[in-house]
Structure 1
Amino acid sequence: MLAAFWSTVWPYLAGAVVLGGAGAAAGWLRRTDRLVRGRKRQWREEDAIRTGHRSLAAVDAMSWQDFERYVAQLCRRDGCTDVEVSGKSGDLGADVVATLADGRRLVVQCKHYAPHRYVPSGDMQKFVGTAWLHHKADVAVFVATCPFSKPALALAVQHGILALHRDLLGQWNTGTPLPALLSLNGTGQGDRAHRQCRRDTYRSS
């Protein structure tokens, strides 16, 4: 009787085992494929940063979270260690924190704005109020995908914050190391005609 029961049941058990194994194998293959694709994507992104092949148009197409991660990757490229990305609101201006190659503490505020906009003085005021006292920065950088308003730029220069506007971001993106940009604070935004041309180009694209 037991033999008859087993002869009836075992094909179903064997089938269940086979199906379970096939399902597990398929799940493993899907996970492996995702990991491989993710590593390839990360490699391409890091290679684009190393070689300066990422365009500012590609940066404009990022989400603000991707932009913060992109800035963190640029910091790593330039020899920074202990690089951390906040990735959330309420960080009091410290979107990226890191240690520069010479040991100084770096605090970065990131703003992913449309190229035709300006960083207002209010944004800079907030960062001035937290970068040195709250975050204990040795080097404070405000990086944006657009220019800074004149009051915002004046505040940055007055308080020793690197206002890394769109033109300087383009230089950083194409390989100029961050420490080399510190002495350029307050320069490089171009004249009024240059900025109007940039706005017209963005609006027509």
Structure 2
Amino acid sequence: MASPRRRRSRKRTRRQLQGWGAVAAAVAVVWAAGHWAAVWPVLAGVLGAVVVCGAGWALLRAHRLAIGEDRQWRAQEEARARELSMAEVDALSWQDFEMYVAGLCRRDGCTKVVVSGKSGDLGADVIGYLADGRKLVVQCKKYAPNRSVSSQDMQKFVGTARLEHGADVALFVTTGRMFTKAALGLALRQDIVALHRDLLGSWVKGARLESLIPLNGSGGGTARRPPA
């Protein structure tokens, strides 16, 4: 059994340890408070930057998605509007189609535009002059929307457009969906401007003939003064 002196010594030691522990705790609190005042703005700034960057990325992604959807919608609407206009063109007779193409030429500044309106015209359904004086000869093929223009059709036009009619710009326009590979290759080699259904649709919707000529053939010929 411990003596009274030893018990008093232990109590005194315990009280000293408790005192020093309280002092250490107070020092720790003071230290933490002092350093926290310096650290918390940095932590707050980092946290704010993370939040801002995350929000900015989300907004940018949403913006890009919205732009993509808007472009897709516009493309679909333009295609739909073109098809609506082409549906009206599809309803024309072949004679009316030639008259319609002649009207598009006049709209785009062509002069002295005439329509043969008959068979046996040797590929010259429409003849006129561009604003720069080049002679324009147009072959019009009123085909079903899903039909293609064959190389035989193109060969006939190639053989007459320049030799028979002296065309500077030879234009083959069709309501068909496309030219066959052989027909398009011949058109490119012989400098025939080939306007399939989609390009015709653009022309119908307001695209200028001058902007369409270089797309499937350079047009050829040199500028000259329009005939009096």
TM bracket (short chain): 0.5 to 0.7
State the superposition RMSD in angstroms.
1.5
CA distance in structure 2 between the partners assigned to 1:178 and 1:149 by the alignment: 23
Please tell me whether the aligned partners of residues 53 and 174 of structure 1 are also in contact (alpha carbons under 8 angstroms): no
Match of 1:113 among 136, 140, 143: 143
Match of 2:186 among 155, 180, 186: 155
CA offset digits 1:80-126 (Å, max 9, x no partner):
01000000000000000001111110000000000111111100000
Please tell me whether the aligned partners of residues 141 and 162 of structure 1 are also in contact (alpha carbons under 8 angstroms): yes
Percent identity, aligned pairs only, is 68
Return the TM-score normalized by structure 1.
Answer: 0.64
CA distance in structure 2 between the partners assigned to 1:122 and 1:88 by the alignment: 20
Map 1:26-105; keep pairs closer than 5 Å: 55-105=85-135
CA distance in structure 2 between the partners assigned to 1:183 and 1:83 by the alignment: 21
CA distance in structure 1 between the partners assigned to 2:99 and 2:151 by the alignment: 25
What is the CA-CA distance between 1:54 and the residue it aligns to? 7.1
Partner of 2:11: none
CA offset digits 1:103-156 (Å, max 9, x no partner):
110000000000111111100000000001110000000000011111111110
Distance 1:71 1:114, change over 3 A: same
Larger radius of gyration: 2
Please tell me whether the aligned partners of residues 54 and 173 of structure 1 are also in contact (alpha carbons under 8 angstroms): no
Return the TM-score normalized by structure 2.
Answer: 0.58
Aligned length: 135
Secondary structure of 2:99's counterpart equals helix
Partner of 1:165: 196
CA distance in structure 2 between the partners assigned to 1:117 and 1:81 by the alignment: 31
**Structure 1 stretches lacking a partner, 5+ long:** 1-51, 187-205
Secondary structure of 1:168's counterpart equals helix
What is the CA-CA distance between 1:53 and the residue it aligns to? 11
CA offset digits 1:19-58 (Å, max 9, x no partner):
xxxxxxxxxxxxxxxxxxxxxxxxxxxxxxxxx9970000
Distance 1:123 1:113, change over 3 A: same
